[in-house]
Amino acid sequence: MSEPAIDLATIALDYEGFRRLATDERLSAQEKIGFPPAYREGFEDKILADILIKLPQLATGRGLRVADIGPGCAGLPRLLIDLCRDRGHTLALVDAPEMLDQLPDVEGVTVKCEGPFPKTAAQVSAALGGPADVILCYSVLHYIYVDCNLFDFIDATVALLAPDGRALIGDIPNHSKRRRFFATPRGQAFHRQFTGSHQPYVVDWGTAAPGKIDDAVLTGLIQRAQAGGCDAYLMPQGPDLPMANRRDDLLLMRP
């Protein structure tokens, strides 16, 4: 009898934990990147469309230098690879080797940089042949938070960004936004539908949330990016995305 797949609820979702998930062939591609299938399956096209609203040069430019930090191995990086092939972009994929091995190698388009960012920042710049015109880091920042100082991550992202470049740090779980949402009648209805429970969701306004990203953390990241020479904006996701009611996107723009 074969062993069961790794339980997402019991594994530490850090860099080493994702390396383990990537090699478990009993998991779906969505589970390998830490999501139950229902959270992402069927949404990748909509997610990419929302990304392109914030990073429009991906779809309008030609021959850009693009970095995807923590792409994982599911559908979204494959869509991005196809887009970069069509537009003649060079795409640096930055992740654990176990994840990168599951993504296609496209000659003249993809280069793979093994290891965690920002430790790989110099490697990414060398692979691209210079600073990045576009940086994408989607559904990853809360995992990076486990492994490194987020100011170091922002500093390295800003340093990697070319003039007129944009970086989107997307799909960030915002604990403060989550609290605000579940305090509303719409949030309570969402909770009842999602859980099947008739018990109200109790919002713990006065309770600290160590290790969680909240309004204060995001405000600090905005100010850090601004101090480094970028404009920075906290942006909502499109309402058709699966977790738009409790996640935010951080857009950095170098003048």
Domains present along the chain, CATH in parentheses: 39-174+213-253 (3.40.50.150), 176-211 (no CATH)
**List of long-range contacts for 149-155, beta carbons under 8 Å, 24+ apart:** 150/217, 150/220, 150/221, 151/220, 151/221, 151/224, 152/118, 153/117, 153/118, 154/221, 154/224, 154/225, 154/228, 154/252, 155/118, 155/224, 155/228
What pLDDT, in 10s, does the model give residues 198-222? 888 888 887 878 889 999 999 999 9
pTM: 0.93
Distance CA 45, CA 120 (A): 29
What is the mean pLDDT of the segment spanning 117-145?
96
What is the mean pLDDT of the segment spanning 142-162?
94
**Banded model confidence at residue 1, pLDDT cuts 50, 70, 90:** very low
What is the mean pLDDT of the segment spanning 3-16?
76
What pLDDT, in 10s, does the model give residues 39-63? 777 899 999 999 999 999 999 999 9
Phi, psi of 74 (to 5 degrees): -90, -150
* Contact yes or no for 109/78 (Cβ under 8 A): no
